[in-house]
Amino acid sequence: MSSILKRAFLGFLAGLLAGTLVLGIGGRLAMRGIALMGGLKGGFSWGGTMEVVLLGLIIGAISGTIYGVLSNYLFKNKWSAGGLYGLLAFVAILVLPIEGKGAAKGFPDLQVPISLIFGGLHVVYGVVLAFLFGRMNRTE
């Protein structure tokens, strides 16, 4: 397998795992916290949870593949590279023309905390992605 295909595949796997855990499950927990901050009660559903986890999985797999391909061109310090990559992924999502931007639309007074929470999740995602990718990409 060529080096770039190997890195892309390992990035895909690392992104799949990191995206599911951090963006999916972490994102769902963050959404619940934001709802509570906004004064909403109840509102938990398995369907909604699975949708968020699946979205985290998809975003993770796609951006993980990109990370794997770019991994040779990023900073030598993989922790910094992962955090920066996560931050860039968050910025990319912010500029997408998605109607409403999710939770921020429902809670206009909480836009700054919401952005900080989800921005932080993406940075954590990037660091976890870099860690997992580094562990998987060991050559001995």
Residue range 31-63, pLDDT digits in tens:
888 888 888 876 778 888 899 899 999 989 999
Task: Say what the pLDDT of residue 60 is.
Answer: 92
- Indicate the average pLDDT of the chain: 83
b vs e for 30-39, b when ≥16 Cβ sit within 10 Å of the residue's Cβ? bbeebbeeee
**Rounded alpha-carbon distances, angstroms, from residue 88 to 9, 28, 84, 108:** 21, 21, 6, 23
Hey, what amino acid is at 9? F
pLDDT by residue (tens digit) across 62-72? Answer: 999 999 998 88
Kindly tell me if the per-residue pLDDT of 112 is higher than 50: yes
Kindly tell me if the per-residue pLDDT of 140 is higher than 50: no
Task: Say what the pLDDT of residue 107 is.
Answer: 75
Tokens of residue 20, six digits: 């599911």
Q: In whole angstroms, give the CA distance from residue 105 to residue 17.
A: 29
Length of the chain: 140
